[in-house]
């Protein structure tokens, strides 16, 4: 997301004051159109909790697979992603 110096982050319209517990990002396009996204503190916390739980679970699965010797690497998948990256896809 690009943030212009003109609009900045946390730009708030006078009739729409953001609370200290929310996050507001604003994007102003070159043609004057504006996109704005506000996320409440509750939504940020829920997202953070869910992401952390999913990441912890995945890390634990990988640890167990490495310890048991069953962790495998799909070399074809890695090669495919490397080729796509190098080709600019």
Report pLDDT digits (tens) over 35-84: 888 888 888 887 777 778 888 889 899 999 999 999 999 999 999 999 99
**Three-point CA angle 58, 53, 40, nearest 5°:** 135
Bigger pLDDT: 27 vs 63: 63
Task: Identify whether 79 is part of a domain.
Answer: yes
Residue 1's pLDDT is 52
Task: Identify whether 73 is part of a domain.
Answer: yes
Q: In total, how many domains does the chain have? A: 1
Task: Identify whether 49 is part of a domain.
Answer: yes
Going 52 to 53 to 54 to 58, the CA torsion angle's sign is positive
């Amino acid at each position: 997301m690009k943030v212009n110096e003109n609009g900045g982050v946390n730009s708030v319209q006078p009739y729409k004051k953001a609370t200290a517990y929310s996050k507001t990002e604003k994007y102003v396009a070159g043609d004057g159109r504006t996109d704005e996204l506000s996320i409440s503190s509750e939504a940020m916390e829920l997202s953070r909790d869910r992401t952390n739980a999913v990441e912890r679970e995945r890390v634990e699965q990988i640890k167990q697979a490495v310890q048991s010797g069953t962790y495998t690497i799909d070399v074809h998948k890695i090669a495919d992603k490397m080729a796509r990256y190098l080709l600019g896809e």
